[in-house]
Amino acid sequence: GESVGLHLPTLSVQEGDNSIINCAYSNSASDYFIWYKQESGKGPQFIIDIRSNMDKRQGQRVTVLLNKTVKHLSLQIAATQPGDSAVYFCAESLMDSSYKLIFGSGTRLLVRP
Amino acid sequence: NAGVTQTPKFRVLKTGQSMTLLCAQDMNHEYMYWYRQDPGMGLRLIHYSVGEGTTAKGEVPDGYNVSRLKKQNFLLGLESAAPSQTSVYFCASSLGQTIMNTEAFFGQGTRLTVV
């Protein structure tokens, strides 16, 4: 079956720098994408979402970019802080079953002080 | 507002034992899900429910059963635990009625070890 995957398993950044976490998806029918943050010992927490009719969406310090041509999704975190250290997952929702999310394998973000 | 609550938080089982994980949500969500998360991997959907009295199989349903007798509760059962079921289990819920309501709210997880 088709699945969502990530390019980098671990990303280390300096505090204050911007972080970019990437995700590749293979199903062109996917209509909705979500980024989740998972801190150690906790459940995933919603960060930001984007629909396939959009290319970019901004939140507080986070931006999600969607490139449907190459089926690529990215999460940008501005001025990365120690509290941003976590595992980040992208998830896609398929049009024929929009309530079911397919998760990628995750990227661990480490913020160096 | 408690959100999604899972019990227990930790459990150790012997191979062949049975147990039930309980998930409760107080957000009046229609959709509920059980995921498992193995080290270094993403979440894989075990079973899900689109409403009270209904359940369906996800990606990895073998060895598990579920029930949704009440809207707020979603139970995950292991009839005969195996070491391969050692994992962290997450329950989630969502409104799910339209695509923009797909955002899932997760519980804190249950760490299960089968020895």
Whole-angstrom Cα distance, residue B7 to residue A91?
25
Q: What is the mean pLDDT of residues B23-30?
A: 95
B81 pLDDT higher than 90 = yes
In B, which residues are within 8 Å of A42 by CB distance? 108-109
Partner-chain contact A44 B45, CB within 8 Å: no
Amino acid, single-letter form, for residue A79: A
Whole-angstrom Cα distance, residue B110 to residue B29?
21
Choose the closest CB to B104 out of A1, A9, A101.
A101
Residues in contact with B15: Cβ distance below 8 Å, sequence separation at least 6, in sequence order: B81, B82, B83, B114, B115
- For B4-40, letters b (16+ CB in 10 Å) and e give bebeeeebebeeeeebebebbbeeebbbbbbbbbeee
In B, which residues are within 8 Å of A95 by CB distance? 99
* CA A8 distance to own-chain centroid: 12
What is the DSSP annotation of A4-72?
EE-S-SEEEEETTS-EEEEEEE--TTEEEEEEEEE-TTS--EEEEEEETT-SEEE-SSEEEEEETTTTE
pLDDT for position B92: 92
User: 3-class secondary structure for B77-99?
Assistant: EECCCCHHHCEEEEEEEECCCCH
pLDDT above 70 as % of chain A: 88
Q: Which residues pair with A90 in a beta bridge?
A: A35
Q: For an interface test with A, which of B30, B102, B106 has the most A Cβ atoms less than 10 Å from its Cβ?
A: B102
pLDDT confidence bin for B68, thresholds 50/70/90: very high
B38 pLDDT higher than 80 = yes
**Using one digit for the tens of pLDDT, what is the confidence trace for A19-72?**
999 999 878 888 889 999 999 888 899 899 998 899 999 999 999 999 999 999
